[in-house]
Amino acid sequence: MADLSTELCGIRFKNPVWTASGCFGYGREFADVFPLSELGAICVKGTAPEPWVGNKGTRVVETPGGMLNAIGLQNPGIDYFLNVDWPWLREQGATVIVNIVGRTVAEYVAVARRLEGSGVAAVELNISCPNVKEGGLAFGTSLKGAAEVTAAVRKATSLPLMVKLSPNVTNIVDFAKAVEDAGADAVTLINTLLGMSVDIRKRKPVLGNLFGGLSGPGVKPVALRMVWQVAGAVKIPVVGIGGIMTGADAVEFLMAGARAVQVGTACFVNPRAPIDVINGIAAFMAETGVSRVADLVGAARPAAGAEGNLPALGREAGTKPAKVATGETADALRQFMKDSDRF
């Protein structure tokens, strides 16, 4: 029997497949489709100290490779979660990670404090929220903001602390290192990529909010590249998210260095997607003779010591690779990057 369990932040999750925040609600709509206890974990919708109403107008639009959303982080607030959703989720035997949103550092801290001792497994900070004290610049796109909110929540809670990174930055590695230094126990990435859509008949933007977050299979290569970069740069575990639709997609993220993955947009297309992903990973393991999922983690990465020879994405200009990489993976990667220069 294959061992699908994965260990992160001192917790052993029964498998590495979690549902992504905002794409699975609080699980109620899915509980008739499969037992929620079958999931590695559920990351619930971003939760604020008070209820948030969300954006007006059109909030979701399909794109060729996924969807754009501008929900505006609508949520019923921490009191509702603790009084209504959490007791129900507990009854289902679900492992729950609470995604936290806030407009100020104090708001993130307030939610984290309320969760202390509640029995939830961990908190995940969604730092892609506008920081009202920095003129609306998202916490996750300012190194100072990202570090500040992480350090403040670190002080406020003894729960495992995951920080969910925004991909809308020049160098995601800098952000991963900043939150690691500020006390994060793990990083999860990626959140959505900023995009927009225009209605050519109405001659105006489709989304009421003008811009929205792009997710789904179209973002997978970007997410995978960022997971690869971050996994090679930080010591804390990495959780990969972005366009995962199948077990094979998930295995790619695990092999790039993710210790767990989250399934988001796929749940809108196929409510059984997270279970299909779990079964797909198990089938891949059976087919290729892998008995522990942990053996897939980082399997596509070069052996320790050979990393310096891989293409210098994210490395400072002018620094030289240290040693010559060997092996088929390294050769294939070098060839791929050479080919990709053409695009």
Residue spans of alpha helices (H) in 182-258: 220-231, 247-256
- Per CB under 6 A, does 197 bind ligand FMN? no
Angle at 141 between CA 138 and CA 143, to 5 degrees: 115
**Which residue among 55, 142, 191, 197 contacts ligand FMN (CB under 6 A)?**
191
- In the chain, how long is the greatest CA-to-CA distance? 57
- Per CB under 6 A, does 186 bind ligand FMN? no
* Minimum CB distance to ligand FMN smaller for 13 or for 18: 18
Cβ 323 to ligand FMN shortest distance, Å: 35
* Minimum CB distance to ligand FMN smaller for 232 or for 242: 242
Whole-angstrom Cα distance, residue 221 to residue 216? 11
Contact 333, 311 (CB under 8 A): yes
Q: Judging by DSSP bridges, how do beta strands 238-241 and 186-189 pair with one another?
A: parallel
- Per CB under 6 A, does 69 bind ligand FMN? yes
9 is catalytic: no
Tokens 């509702």 belong to: 80
* Minimum CB distance to ligand FMN smaller for 232 or for 274: 274
Which range touches ligand FMN (CB under 6 A), out of 103-111, 209-217, 280-288, 327-335? 209-217
- Per CB under 6 A, does 23 bind ligand FMN? yes
**Which residue among 6, 95, 99, 142 contacts ligand FMN (CB under 6 A)?**
99
- Per CB under 6 A, does 73 bind ligand FMN? yes
- Per CB under 6 A, does 299 bind ligand FMN? no
Selection from 287, 279, 286, 322 nearest residue 304 by Cα: 322
- Per CB under 6 A, does 27 bind ligand FMN? no
Q: How many helices (H) does the chain have, and how many strands (E)?
A: 10, 16
Could you tell me how many residues of this chain bind ligand FMN (CB under 6 A)? 25
* Minimum CB distance to ligand FMN smaller for 128 or for 309: 128
Contact 244, 269 (CB under 8 A): no
Whole-angstrom Cα distance, residue 89 to residue 97? 11
Q: Which helix (H) or strand (E) holds 174?
A: helix 172-181
* Minimum CB distance to ligand FMN smaller for 152 or for 306: 152
Q: 3-class DSSP state for residue 277?
A: helix
Q: Which of 9, 23, 43, 129 is catalytic?
A: 129
Q: Judging by DSSP bridges, how do beta strands 41-47 and 122-126 pair with one another?
A: unpaired
- Per CB under 6 A, does 280 bind ligand FMN? no
Which range touches ligand FMN (CB under 6 A), out of 2-10, 131-139, 210-218, 311-319? 210-218
Sign of the torsion angle spanned by Cα atoms 333, 65, 217, 140: positive
Q: Hey, which residues between 161 and 180 contact ligand FMN (CB under 6 A)?
A: 164
Where along the sequence are the contacts to ligand FMN (CB under 6 A)?
20-23, 45-46, 69, 71, 73, 99, 126, 164, 191-192, 213, 215-216, 219, 241-244, 263-265
Please give the positions annotated as active site.
129
